[in-house]
Structure 1
Amino acid sequence: MGKLSNCLSMIQILMARPKVKIDDLAAELGVKPRMIRVYRDELEKAGIYIESVRGVNGGYSLDRRSILPIRNFNSTEVQELQIAIKSYLSKQPDHDSTLDNALEKIKAAQRDQALSSKHFYFANDYLINAEVGNESEHYKRLYHAFNHRKKVMITYEAASTNAVTKRTIHPYAFVVYDENIYCVAYCEQKEALRTFKIIRIHDVVLVDQSFYLPENFDIRKQFPHLGFIREPQEVELIIDTPFSNQVKESIYSTDQIIEELPDNAIRFKATLNGEQSIKKWILGMGTKARVIAPEHLKKEIQLEVEQMLQNFQK
């Protein structure tokens, strides 16, 4: 048989058995043991990984995570899939467990997740603006530029002054925070790191110039210094079923405390960021959530509900 046929046969053998010695593989394929190593190297070039264990009980085994169905996902597709799933779950929370599990399996199969997590950060991912999902052409272009280490020229509208300026930036990372996605980039005009809200970008033009992305850059470490977090709130809620079950299965804050109450209700305490996201999350649970603290949040939720009632009475 030729090299291709032997490689496919080798995959079939390793899929059928948990571990096979190199001499046994060679005998079944009718080749010398050194050719098995050649086939292993060829398969690894194609992204199919063969693990080797030495010793009396050693042999070759197939890394099933790398087999063909998973290989079709690249890091860009996984990032956009993650955004799409989070956007969908903000409207269909009943599917939270199934879709999150599916996404984790896909991410686990990616070999560059350590790199991705250094440059893509969900700061508070329990709600996300559907407008910024994988429908955003600006995000796609910025992520393409990041992936290929290319500079971009953006037309950007400042939130405070509404002034529109053109800037050349080096995309370093992306952050999802308080329902929106931001590009964290080095700005040539300011000669410093800046954050750009995607929905405030009017235009994105790829520039045929490369930029250097510092190897030690990690958005997880940079995030606290970027000005996103403003006045974190210690929130206390009473949440009834069915939302109580969903909340118990999720992590909203590293300091969250969940106390079981009668009738499957819970008392939820946590320090949260992103005021708009907090309010929309609570309002999304309707009558199944009651704000205990802080007092100002309770009043703001009450005002929102009163305004909603007025709108329905018109």
Structure 2
Amino acid sequence: MEEMMGRLGNMLRLWMILKNHSEQNPVGINKLSRELEIRPRMIREYIRILQDEGWEIESKRGRYGGYFLASDSKYHRLLPIIGLSQEEQLALYVAKHELSANKVDYSREIEQSFEKILGTAGLMNSLGYNGDDRHIMFQLGIAERLTDEDKHNYWQIYKAIVEKRKVNIYYNPVSQKKNWRVIHPYAIWKHQHMTYVRAFCENANRLLTFKLNRILQMECLEQPFERLSSYNPLEDISYRIGVSDDEVFDLKLRLTGWEARAIFEQTLVENYLVGPCPSGEGVIFSARMKGKEDIKRWILGMGREVQVVEPASLKKELFEEVDAMRQNFLN
């Protein structure tokens, strides 16, 4: 890796010099050798590699000759990415989306930089990528440390998503026996500290969410699949607070005290409203949400500073949950 990064660094430095030289002002091989502190033979080798990658590096013969980057080259203002494996390019692609999801400072500048890098790397075009980023989705949370096997599976599933090819997986569910199943992968979803695969399962004949680290074995098939026309990955994730596949419902909470102030600093779902409470104390939180069990845990975590206004069915379920908790403490 160190050798590859040194080679990449030399090529980046070479490009930075060449882009500032034109046919009227080329740079000689000896000057390049002195500035880069590498032998002329290696300079020629790097130039050959860049030219093979499509970089329009031209040369001019004569006493005042040398090398320069063609002014009309489509790569004139971009960074070359040479020697990166597909997995390393994918890592950059995923990092771009994870940074965007976490709304880091300078996100726009970072986004532009990644677009230049990935556009030059050419990985997405080689897979038939059409610019649709919706199959890589993130929600805020601690990053998961993937094993080497999980990283390999991530990469294979990602390729299957882009190429629309079926995958046969040997899966270890929580409440059932391990089994083989054929899936049509639609999206990779990182939620909290875990990575999930959203896919249509042929065995169950419906959309399911699979945990990446529960995929014990997998085989990418040659069979293509057609995504459900009704499926929109961004809409699928927009109402979720967890990973369960239950119904979407309208939630309304009355928050008081610290929770009334803290709700403005949280990002739970994309579209929600917070307004004053008609009684004058606290605020009303309203949102369309999915993931009832995760929502219940979130509400219970707010203790006495939350009151469920709607739906009535959720209010009843939480009352029964709190009553059972009370009994645990009495016994």
What TM-score, normalized to structure 1?
0.56
- AA aligned to 1:166 is W
1:279 corresponds to:
296
- AA aligned to 1:75 is Y
Residue 195 in structure 1 maps to residue 212 in structure 2: no
For residues 135 and 258 of structure 2, the distance between their equivalents in structure 1, rounded to whole angstroms, comes to 35
Q: CA RMSD in A?
A: 5.3
- AA aligned to 2:307 is R
2:179 corresponds to:
165
Alignment of 1:4-153 (within 5 A): 7-9=15-17, 35=69, 37=71, 41=75, 44=78, 46=80, 74-78=92-96, 81=98, 100-102=103-105, 104=107, 109-111=113-115, 115=131, 117-121=133-137, 125=139, 133-135=144-146, 140-149=151-160, 152-153=167-168
- AA aligned to 1:172 is Y
CA deviation vs aligned residue, 1:226-274 (integer Å, no higher than 9, x gap): xx75432222112235433443355555663321359993211222211
5+ residue gaps in structure 2?
Answer: 1-9, 28-63, 83-88, 119-123, 125-129, 238-243
**Aligned-pair CA distance for 1:46:** 1.2
Gap change, CA 1:289 and 1:184, over 3 Å in 2: same
5+ residue gaps in structure 1?
Answer: 14-21, 49-70, 87-98
Alignment partner of 2:247: what SS? coil
- AA aligned to 1:101 is V
Of residues 299, 307, 312 in structure 2, which corresponds to 1:295? Answer: 312
1:236 corresponds to:
252
Alignment partner of 2:297: what SS? helix
What TM-score, normalized to structure 2?
0.53
2:169 corresponds to:
154
**Aligned-pair CA distance for 1:33:** 11
2:188 corresponds to:
174
**Aligned-pair CA distance for 1:303:** 3.0
Residue 184 in structure 1 maps to residue 198 in structure 2: yes
**Aligned-pair CA distance for 1:110:** 3.5
Of residues 305, 308, 312 in structure 1, which corresponds to 2:322? Answer: 305
Alignment of 1:212-251 (within 5 A): 212=224, 219-220=232-233, 223=236, 230-250=246-266
CA deviation vs aligned residue, 1:93-145 (integer Å, no higher than 9, x gap): xxxxxx543595655654379856321345xx47x7x7x94447775444211
- AA aligned to 1:272 is M
Kept in 1: contact 2:166–2:225 (CA 8 A): no
1:269 corresponds to:
286
- AA aligned to 2:16 is L
- AA aligned to 2:15 is C
For residues 24 and 223 of structure 2, the distance between their equivalents in structure 1, rounded to whole angstroms, comes to 48
For residues 227 and 315 of structure 2, the distance between their equivalents in structure 1, rounded to whole angstroms, comes to 45
> Which of structures 1 and 2 has the bigger CA Rg?
2
1:258 corresponds to:
274
Kept in 2: contact 1:238–1:290 (CA 8 A): yes
1:51 corresponds to:
none
Gap change, CA 1:270 and 1:165, over 3 Å in 2: same
For residues 245 and 134 of structure 1, the distance between their equivalents in structure 2, rounded to whole angstroms, comes to 33
Kept in 2: contact 1:139–1:198 (CA 8 A): no
